[in-house]
Amino acid sequence: LESGFISNEESKQKLVPIMTILLEELNAKGKCTLPIDESNTIHLKVIEQRPDPPVVQEYDVPVFTQDKDDFFNSQWDLTTQQILPYIDGFRHVQKISAEADVELNLVRIAVQNLLYYGVVTLVSILQYSNVYCTTPKVQDLVDDKCLQEECLSYVTKQGHKRASLRDVFQLYCGLSPG
C-alpha cells in the first residue's frame, strides 16, 4: 500500500511473473524469499499442518525424541526455556512444574507445544504396581543392527559409559508378568 505497488499500472504487470516464481519456489522448496523492489521483499514458508497433540496430564513424563543439545534455548518461549533443563525422561510434568518453579498449567501447555513440534513424546510414569513384559517384537532387537544402535544410544545417559546390548537385552527379557 505504501509504495503503491499493486495500484501502480507499471508495477502491476510484474504480478504474474512474481506469482509464478512464488508458486514454483513454494512447490519446490516449501519456502520463498523474493525481493520485489528496493523496499519490499516477500518471505513465505509452507507450514506443515499437524494434528493437535494430546492433552498433557500432570503424571505424563516427557521424553526427548532427539538429542536435547540439538535445540537452541533461544528458539523457544520463556516458559519452555525454563522447563527444558528438567525434561529428562524421568520427571513427570507435575515434578517439572515444582522443580522449575513454573505454574503447572503453563508447563502442560509448554510440553503440549513441544509435542506438537515432535520434540518430545509422552510416556506414562513407571508405576511399581504395573506389570511390564516384552512382546515377540523383542526379537527385532536381536536382528536389526540399526535398532540396536538406536536402543543403546537411547538408554545410555549422556556422559556415562555406554550400556552393553547384552545387559539391555537381559533387562528387557527379565520383564515378565507376575
User: Residue 104: CB partners within 8 Å, gap ≥ 6?
Assistant: 58, 93, 94, 97
Taking alpha carbons only, the member of 112, 57, 53 closest to residue 80 is 112
Helix locations, 13-164, DSSP H: 15-29, 78-83, 93-100, 104-116, 139-143, 145-155
User: What distance separates the 2 farthest-apart alpha carbons in the chain?
Assistant: 81
List of domains in the chain: 9-45 (no CATH), 60-124 (1.10.10), 136-174 (no CATH)
CA distance 129 to 134: 17
How would you write the pLDDT of the chain (178 residues) with one tens digit per residue? 567 777 778 777 888 899 999 999 999 999 999 998 888 889 999 988 889 999 999 999 999 998 877 776 677 899 999 999 999 988 999 999 999 999 999 999 999 999 998 899 998 886 656 777 888 999 999 999 999 999 999 888 878 899 899 999 998 888 877 6
Predicted TM-score of the model (pTM): 0.56
* Residue 123, helix vs strand vs coil: strand
CA distance 119 to 111: 9
